[in-house]
Amino acid sequence: MPKIIASSDNHLDINKINVNQVISQQARYMTDQKVDYYLIAGDLFNDFDKSRKYVRSLRERAVNTNVLFIAGNHDMIRGVTYEQLETGGWPGYLNNQFVDIPNTNLRIIGINGWYDYSFATNVKRPESDFYHWKKTYWIDSQISQPMSDIERERVVLGELEKQLLEAQKLAKKVILMTHFVPNQQFIRYTDDFRFWNMANAMMGSIHFQQLIDKYAVNSVIFGHSHRRYAPVKINQTWYYNGAVGYHNHHHNEWQSNDFMTEWQNQLKFIQII
């Protein structure tokens, strides 16, 4: 079976990482480990153009590894339009696309994802309240889009179901890569911390989760949530979160002081059963 690794939320700019050095180190690691596929589930930079150039350089140096990526909400802040995110054909960019792994029945599907406020189940607010909270407090307020969040997630769900239906017809085992949280079990609910209860609205969609269950997806790789999760099976699906997260004096989520150590510790090796 191919060796597949996954990571997310590297936040190379926020973490003030020497990008050229890290590309060389990651390429060397993947060559030494004979990695066939490296999947990046979003949030490399706060600028899609930088994320795209990083992936291009990594693909050039890790010549025996197929490096594939999708965009997270941070990547969407600048350097790309909504239309480009939906249809872009950059090398390695997998949103709304798939890659079949030769000599297997495995298909890797990429879906950036979005949200429709449905994870904020314990906050009884109208849609307009979530929207105004997002525009006031959430980084996604900087992302330009031609429709509402509800409409955007509806587009995502339509593309996801189309991709999963085609894979089902061909009896493919699916490895789904998305950025936003794909299952409600990863959502943090509290009785006394209003920020996170409102922020849950921007985490993902329960309807995305329902499609994963409907089509019995084998494996899901995601990010967005920086909490540390071991791989876990929910119903018929294995979930992998490889978020590296933030390392600064304001917000330190790392368990080491070195990016490569943290990246390797958070890498998820995808096991297909």
Q: Per-10-residue mean pLDDT for the chain, 273 residues long? A: 96 97 98 98 98 98 98 98 96 98 97 98 91 96 97 98 98 98 95 85 98 98 95 98 92 93 97 78
pLDDT of residue 111: 98
Architecture (CATH level 2) of domain 4-269: 4-Layer Sandwich (3.60)
What is the distance between the alpha carbons of residues 181 and 10, in angstroms, rounded to a whole number? 16
CB 258 within 8 A of CB 23: no
Helix (H) or strand (E) holding 110, with range, is strand 106-111
The one-letter amino acid at 201: A
Packing angle of the helix pair 206-214, 149-169 (nearest 10 deg)? 10
What does the pLDDT look like over 123-171, one tens digit per residue?
989 999 999 999 999 999 999 999 999 999 999 999 999 999 999 999 9
Instruction: Give me 94's structure tokens.
Output: 């997998």
What are the extents of the domains in the chain? 4-269
The one-letter amino acid at 238: W
Query: Minimal CA–CA distance to 216: which of 189, 252, 176, 187?
Result: 176
Q: How buried is residue 124: exposed, middle or buried, by Cβ count under 10 Å (0-12/13-18/19+)?
A: exposed
What is the distance between the alpha carbons of residues 92 and 188, in angstroms, rounded to a whole number? 32
246: left (phi over 0), alpha (psi -120 to 50) or beta: beta
> Sign of torsion, CA 109 101 239 61?
negative
What is the distance between the alpha carbons of residues 68 and 8, in angstroms, rounded to a whole number? 12
Query: Minimal CA–CA distance to 219: which of 32, 63, 37?
Result: 37
pLDDT of residue 49: 98
Separation of first and last alpha carbons in the chain: 10
pLDDT of residue 173: 98
What is the distance between the alpha carbons of residues 227 and 149, in angstroms, rounded to a whole number? 24
pLDDT of residue 137: 95
What does the pLDDT look like over 212-239, one tens digit per residue?
999 999 999 999 999 999 999 999 999 9
